[in-house]
């Protein structure tokens, strides 16, 4: 279909399709359901905008999107390009909404953006059947899945549109979907034998690095002072940290502003605008910042705190280098942050939610502490194999981490798990194992008689945080596993049992720890 390329050129001003855009558009126009997984910036919108324009039936394409804030932008851009498009959401006055509805009744538009919660209102259902709807596009389709990072229950209702408009092909688009989320999307949106398109998630121009967090403000300044002209984002876990970091940087003469939900609307959009215009170089933000913001020249993204999951991390780092030029992604990691999150997760009352959060944190920790290629880890998370040996653009590939013979430590830990299991017939958590190893005097240890097993107190040469790092590494290496549930317990895997018996050498990676001397010097 050469006319697709013509329309891309004349209406949108682009020379060629991005990967998979053409295939997605062609399948969709052929009447098939489509599932499309394209990375952020991959050009998902084009996949439904262009067909809306060229479809011979001149019907209406309904775009369901949770991003109300972006509808106006998209519609403005489309209108400027001569595409008759509109949106309906809670930000419109009643008069404005009425006039748009009238336009829809007259068949004046080719594209309609709408928030999912509107779709199931009664008059909407009538409207939809009367509007000659030719296509449905569900943007941010991962919101339908509890396994995604952004579950929105109202997305579950979208499937009812299938009964209402049985002939209309559905296109589901997302930038984040693991295998599990992908299945959820296909099932919950009731896609019929969909054409599935999955683009590579690799962002070859991004460099990934993890540093142990130690005086984060100073670390950030060390990082940015060598990049005087560049724009970047510092992601923080809380509003307070975002605020404080922006102040600290501004106080040292850097052009930095905060962005978080605690600011007034005016202040927030002023800060965002200023960043987009390059008047402000650095934005210190919570994850509220960035959804759908298209600033091509973000050169770096720093994570001040450990993200809650890999998906979020990938999205947030993905905001760097959208122009294809190099971008740097730095994660400041501390095991303390992980402990804080664990504590928070333990308090969750919904069991399913708790298990999801725990599994996600485990994957995030794995990423942060792994000695392997960051790219392999990130892409592996999305089910994509990265097979090139040494990506050349992550800290672990550029500067392989040091390993050491950890056989004795590993043996101590594994046998302690084994002995506890033998003594008690029930599993216990990693903290308890570490307390037994370090010979702690706790009520539980006395009650269960764990001070009488042979591994009690055999690990006093290491601190508890050091043992915790060994534990996480053994988990990563597959010698141990952790159960789900309110109180996760630690168990040996078959590999763990084997290695315990064979006493073969176990190489462990040196944890990311800032040398003591350096710390002392800095405090003076
Ligand atoms: P996504 O939703 O996948 O993150 P967008 O739809 O916002 O991405 O598109 C990102 C940017 O890429 C937009 O500015 C869009 O206009 C642009 N774009 C889309 N398709 C193409 C193309 N074929 N060639 C060049 N730019 C494109
Ligand atoms: Zn690498």
- Is the pLDDT confidence value at 377 over 70? yes
Q: How confident is the model at residue 513 (pLDDT cuts 50, 70, 90)?
A: low
- Is the pLDDT confidence value at 87 over 90? yes
Residue in 39, 45, 174 to alter for ligand 1 test, most ligand atoms within 8 A of Cβ:
45
Mind listing the pLDDT tens digit for each residue in 62-75? Answer: 999 998 888 998 99
Average pLDDT over every residue of 35-48: 90
How far apart are alpha carbons 237 and 41 in whole angstroms? 24
Average pLDDT over every residue of 227-237: 95
Residues within a 6 A CB radius of ligand 1: 14, 17-18, 21, 38, 40-46, 175, 294
Query: For residue 17, how far is its CA from the centre of ligand 1 (angstroms)?
Result: 10
Residue 161 in contact with residue 132, Cβ under 8 Å? no
CA nearest to 467, candidates 430, 502, 513: 430
- Which pLDDT score is estimated for 205? 95
Q: How confident is the model at residue 519 (pLDDT cuts 50, 70, 90)?
A: very low
End-to-end Cα, the chain, rounded Å: 69
Residue in 38, 40, 46, 83 to alter for ligand 1 test, most ligand atoms within 8 A of Cβ:
46
Percentage of the chain exceeding pLDDT 90: 69
Return the ligand number nearest the Cα of 38: 1
Mean confidence (pLDDT) of the chain: 91
Q: How confident is the model at residue 391 (pLDDT cuts 50, 70, 90)?
A: very high
For atom 16 of ligand 1, which residue has the closest CA? 43
Give the ligand 1 atom nearest the CA of 21.
Answer: 23
- Which pLDDT score is estimated for 517? 40
Q: How confident is the model at residue 21 (pLDDT cuts 50, 70, 90)?
A: very high
- Which pLDDT score is estimated for 518? 42
How far apart are alpha carbons 66 and 435 in whole angstroms? 47
DSSP secondary structure code for residue 393 in this structure: S
Q: How confident is the model at residue 524 (pLDDT cuts 50, 70, 90)?
A: very low
- Is the pLDDT confidence value at 348 over 60? yes
Average pLDDT over every residue of 102-115: 95
How far apart are alpha carbons 8 and 27 in whole angstroms? 17
Query: For residue 402, how far is its CA from the centre of ligand 2 (angstroms)?
Result: 15
Neighbours of ion ligand 2 (CB under 5 A): 373, 375, 391, 394, 397
Average pLDDT over every residue of 344-350: 90
Greatest mean pLDDT among 22-26, 91-95, 426-430 lies in: 22-26
Average pLDDT over every residue of 364-390: 89
- Which pLDDT score is estimated for 245? 98
Give the ligand 1 atom nearest the CA of 17.
Answer: 23
DSSP secondary structure code for residue 11 in this structure: I
Average pLDDT over every residue of 276-299: 89
Report how far apart, in Å, the C-alpha atoms of 400 and of each of 209, 233, 373, 374 are. 12, 27, 9, 11
Average pLDDT over every residue of 140-155: 88
Residue 470 in contact with residue 427, Cβ under 8 Å? no
Give the ligand 1 atom nearest the CA of 38.
Answer: 3
Torsion of CA 404, 405, 406, 409, to 10 degrees: -120
CA nearest to 298, candidates 401, 372, 227: 227
Q: What is the DSSP string of 117-168?
A: GGTTSHHHHHHHHHTTEEEEEETTGGGG-TTSSS--GGGGGGGHHHHHSTTS
- Which pLDDT score is estimated for 98? 92
- Is the pLDDT confidence value at 242 over 90? yes
- Which pLDDT score is estimated for 292? 64
Mind listing the pLDDT tens digit for each residue in 165-178? Answer: 999 999 999 988 78
Per-residue burial over 340-361, b if 16 or more Cβ lie within 10 Å, else e, is ebbeebeeeeeeeebbbbbebb
CB atoms within 10 A of CB 274: 15
For atom 13 of ligand 1, which residue has the closest CA? 43
Mind listing the pLDDT tens digit for each residue in 426-447? Answer: 889 999 999 999 999 999 999 9
Query: For residue 397, how far is its CA from the centre of ligand 2 (angstroms)?
Result: 4
Return the ligand number nearest the Cα of 137: 1
Average pLDDT over every residue of 337-356: 90
Mind listing the pLDDT tens digit for each residue in 444-457? Answer: 999 999 999 999 99
How far apart are alpha carbons 485 and 348 in whole angstroms? 11
How far apart are alpha carbons 17 and 21 in whole angstroms? 6
Average pLDDT over every residue of 18-35: 95
Query: For residue 328, how far is its CA from the centre of ligand 2 (angstroms)?
Result: 13
Q: How confident is the model at residue 107 (pLDDT cuts 50, 70, 90)?
A: very high
- Pairing of the two strands 111-114 and 231-235: unpaired
Percentage of the chain exceeding pLDDT 70: 97
Give pTM, 2 decimals.
0.73
How far apart are alpha carbons 447 and 468 in whole angstroms? 23
Residue in 5, 6, 43 to alter for ligand 1 test, most ligand atoms within 8 A of Cβ:
43
Torsion of CA 322, 396, 409, 507, to 10 degrees: 130
């Amino acid at each position: 279909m050469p006319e697709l390329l013509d329309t891309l050129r004349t209406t949108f001003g682009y020379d060629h399709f991005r990967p998979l855009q053409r295939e997605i558009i062609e399948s969709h126009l052929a009447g098939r359901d489509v599932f499309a997984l394209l990375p952020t910036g991959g050009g998902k919108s084009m996949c439904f905008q262009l067909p809306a324009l060229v479809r011979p039936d001149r019907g209406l394409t309904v775009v369901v999107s949770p991003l109300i804030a972006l509808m106006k932008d998209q519609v403005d851009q489309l209108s400027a390009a001569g595409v008759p498009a509109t949106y309906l959401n809670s930000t419109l006055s009643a008069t404005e909404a009425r006039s748009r509805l009238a336009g829809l009744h007259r068949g004046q538009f080719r594209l309609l953006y709408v928030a999912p919660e509107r779709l199931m209102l009664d008059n909407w259902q009538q409207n939809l059947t009367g509007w000659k709807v030719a296509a449905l596009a569900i943007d941010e389709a991962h919101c339908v899945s509890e396994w995604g990072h952004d579950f929105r229950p109202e997305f579950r209702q979208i499937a009812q549109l299938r009964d209402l408009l049985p002939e209309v092909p559905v296109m589901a688009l997302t930038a984040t979907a693991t295998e599990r989320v992908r299945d959820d999307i296909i099932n919950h949106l009731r896609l019929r034998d969909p054409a599935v398109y999955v683009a590579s998630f690799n962002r070859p121009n991004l460099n990934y690095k993890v540093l142990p967090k130690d005086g984060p403000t100073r670390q950030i300044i060390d990082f940015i002072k060598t990049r005087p002209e560049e724009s970047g984002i510092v992601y923080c876990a809380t509003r307070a940290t975002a605020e404080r970091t922006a102040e600290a940087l501004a106080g040292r003469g850097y052009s930095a502003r905060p962005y978080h939900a605690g600011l007034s609307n005016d202040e927030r959009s002023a800060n965002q605008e200023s960043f987009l215009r390059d008047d402000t170089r650095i934005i210190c933000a919570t994850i509220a910042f960035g959804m759908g913001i298209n600033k091509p020249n973000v050169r770096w993204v720093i994570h001040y705190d450990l993200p809650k999951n890999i998906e979020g991390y990938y999205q947030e780092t993905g905001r760097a280098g959208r122009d294809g030029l190099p971008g740097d992604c730095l994660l400041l990691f501390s095991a303390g942050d992980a402990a804080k999150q664990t504590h928070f997760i333990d308090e969750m009352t919904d069991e399913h939610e708790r298990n999801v959060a725990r599994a996600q944190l485990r994957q995030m920790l794995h990423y942060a502490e792994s000695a392997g290629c960051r790219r392999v880890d990130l892409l592996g998370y999305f089910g994509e194999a990265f097979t090139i040996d040494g990506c050349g653009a992550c800290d672990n590939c550029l500067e392989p981490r040091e390993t050491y013979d950890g056989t004795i430590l590993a043996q101590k830990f594994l046998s302690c798990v084994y002995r506890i299991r033998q003594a008690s017939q029930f599993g216990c958590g990693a903290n308890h194992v570490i307390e037994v190893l370090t010979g702690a005097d706790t009520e539980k240890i006395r009650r269960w008689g764990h001070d009488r097993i042979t591994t009690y107190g055999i690990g006093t040469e290491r601190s508890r945080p050091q043992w915790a790092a060994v534990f996480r590494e053994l988990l990563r290496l597959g010698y141990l596993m952790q159960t789900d549930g309110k109180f996760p317990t630690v168990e040996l895997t078959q590999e763990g049992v084997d290695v315990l018996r064979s006493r073969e050498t176990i190489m462990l990676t040196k944890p990311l720890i800032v040398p003591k001397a350096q710390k002392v010097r800095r405090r003076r």
